[in-house]
Amino acid sequence: MSDTDLLIDKLFHTGHLEEDEYRCLIDGRTDELAGKLAALAVQKREGIYGKDVFIRGPIEISNICRNDCYYCGIRRSNTECDRYRLTQEEILACADTGYELGFRTFVLQGGEDPFFSDDVLCSIISEIKSRHGDCAVTLSMGERSKESYQRLYDAGADRYLLRHETADRTHYGRLHPEEMSFDNRMRCLQDLRDIGYMVGCGFMVSSPYQTSAELAKDLRFIEEFRPDMCGIGPFIPHKNTPFRDEEQGSAELTCYLLSIIRLIYPSILLPATTALGTSDVVGREKGILAGANVIMPNLSPVRVRKKYELYDGKICTGEETAECIRCLEGRINKIGYRIVVDRGDIRKE
Ligand code: SAH
């Protein structure tokens, strides 16, 4: 067996590689290796989830953000961004529509908008839970204090998505302004875990200054932290950010990493992200075939979808949710999978 075949074998059987071994696997990437990894990842996933694909409905509640991340289209310095914030009624209406369409998880996502205080969010969370008691509520609202996370959890929130963005401190500093801190990001993830949330982390693939060394650290971080979910997608530049001229990440590398992550932690919930679908017209299908098992069709009102533009060219901003879900269902069925009406909790091996 070649060196890389031995590494794949070790990963498959132990879920573990050293940092330099991950680097070697990433640097040695070929179509053939990608095919092998994907076949093994699919085998592991099918043993746990069969052909089921879970759906989550993100509701993009605000594009107002106090942060200034260099990569993000809704950063506070982007004066071209047309800002909005949904009302409680609008958010609840999105959840009601989603429920009728078969969604059993709602993801409230947004910029770090001070309007969404604990009181405001708690009231929305408890209303969604009282209307749709069989659904999970996931939050993706950025960094908050432990007390705040606790209050939101007590109001009924089940899960929290907070991408770590990069597990390398120096790299983190190159993607964010000085006032943001790697340590605080990690503190938040630990607090969320300690409180009892199901926790999702994640990172962008081919973000500026990222090499296989940083990616290897991300993979080691996933081994150690063992998140319930992990969102990864290619970096895609946005025209009104300092990274406007940087190169876009590839769907192929993203899929390669999805397969590796599935082998690290076979039960993990792995979305084929919208960014993956934006970088390649059949990116989400490729993601599923590489080991992903979740898709996240947008539940936001059509009038705001274009405004929640984290990167250029974001797909699915024109059609109503019902159309989106029909389109995705067709795509998923075509590759031999099915979308299920389910909360989509993690299933342990
Ligand atoms: N404010 C929330 C939600 C952030 S948006 C939070 O801090 O968690 C969700 C994710 O989109 C980010 O975590 C980031 O990884 C991703 N993202 C932002 N800009 C992007 C870009 N230009 N290309 C690809 N992904 C991007």
DSSP-derived secondary structure for 275-337: HHHHHSTTHHHHHHHHT--EE----S-HHHHTTS-SSTT-SS-SS-HHHHHHHHHHHHHHTT-
Ligand 1 proximal residues by C-beta, below 6 Å: 71-72, 109, 111-112, 140, 142, 162-163, 165, 204, 233, 235-236, 238, 275, 310-311
For the segment 265-279, the average pLDDT, to the nearest whole number, is: 98
pLDDT at 70 over 90: yes
Question: What distance in angstroms lies between residue 4's CA and the mean position of ligand 1's atoms?
Answer: 32
Alpha-carbon dihedral 235, 263, 160, 64, rounded to 10 degrees: 0
Mean pLDDT of 272-283: 98
- How many structural domains comprise the chain? 1
- Indicate whether 193 belongs to any domain: yes
Which pLDDT score, from 0 to 100, does residue 348 have? 84
Computed over every residue of the chain, the mean pLDDT equals 97
pLDDT band at 308; cut points 50, 70, 90: very high
Strand partners, 136: 105
Specify the pLDDT at position 2.
Answer: 87
Which tokens in the block code for residue 13? 């059987």
The mean per-residue pLDDT over the stretch 58-66 comes to 98
**What CA–CA distance (Å, rounded) separates 174 from 168?**
10
pLDDT score recorded for residue 349: 78
Q: Please determine, for residue 67, whether its predicted confidence score (pLDDT) is greater than 90.
A: yes
Amino acid at 342: D
Nearest one of 149, 151, 200, 161 to 60, comparing CA atoms = 161
Mean pLDDT of 225-235: 98
319 pLDDT tier (thresholds 50, 70, 90): confident
Q: What single DSSP character describes residue 137?
A: E
- At 94-112, the pLDDT tens digits run 999 999 999 999 999 999 9
Closest CA to 198 of 185, 187, 206, 189: 189
pLDDT at position 266, please? 98
pLDDT surpassing 90 at residue 1: no
Instruction: Please compute the mean of the pLDDT values over residues 202-221 and round it to a whole number.
Output: 98
Question: 211 C-alpha to center of ligand 1: Å?
Answer: 19
In a domain, 76, yes or no: yes
Return the percentage of the chain with pLDDT > 70, whole number: 100
Cα–Cα distance between 169 and 185 in angstroms, integer?
A: 11
Contact 244, 19 (CB under 8 A): no
> Could you tell which of 113, 116, 311 is best to mutate to test the pocket of ligand 1, judged by most ligand atoms within 8 Å of the CB?
311
Token readout for 20 is 């330099």
Angle at the Cα of 285 from the Cα atoms of 92 and 333, rounded to 5 degrees: 80
Counting from 1 in the atom list of ligand 1, the atom nearest the Cα of 143 is 7
Beta-bridge partners for 62: 85, 110
| 273 part of a folded domain | yes
Between CA 207 and CA 293 the distance in angstroms is 24
Q: Please report the atom of ligand 1 found closest to the CA of residue 72.
A: 19
Residue 319 located in a structural domain = yes
Q: Specify the residue with its C-alpha closest to ligand 1, atom 19.
A: 72
Please report whether residue 345 resides in a domain: no
The CATH number of residue 202's host domain is 3.20.20.70
Residue 349 lies in a domain: no
Structural domain including 133 reads: 3-340
The end-to-end CA distance of the chain, in Å, is 29
- Ligand 1 atom at minimal distance to the Cα of residue 234: 24
Q: d(Cα 109, Cα 86) in Å, to the nearest integer?
A: 11
Strand partners, 234: 205
123-160 residue pLDDT tens: 999 999 999 999 999 999 999 999 999 999 999 999 99
| 111: nearest Cα among 81, 76, 146 | 76
How many whole angstroms from 231 Cα to the centroid of ligand 1? 10
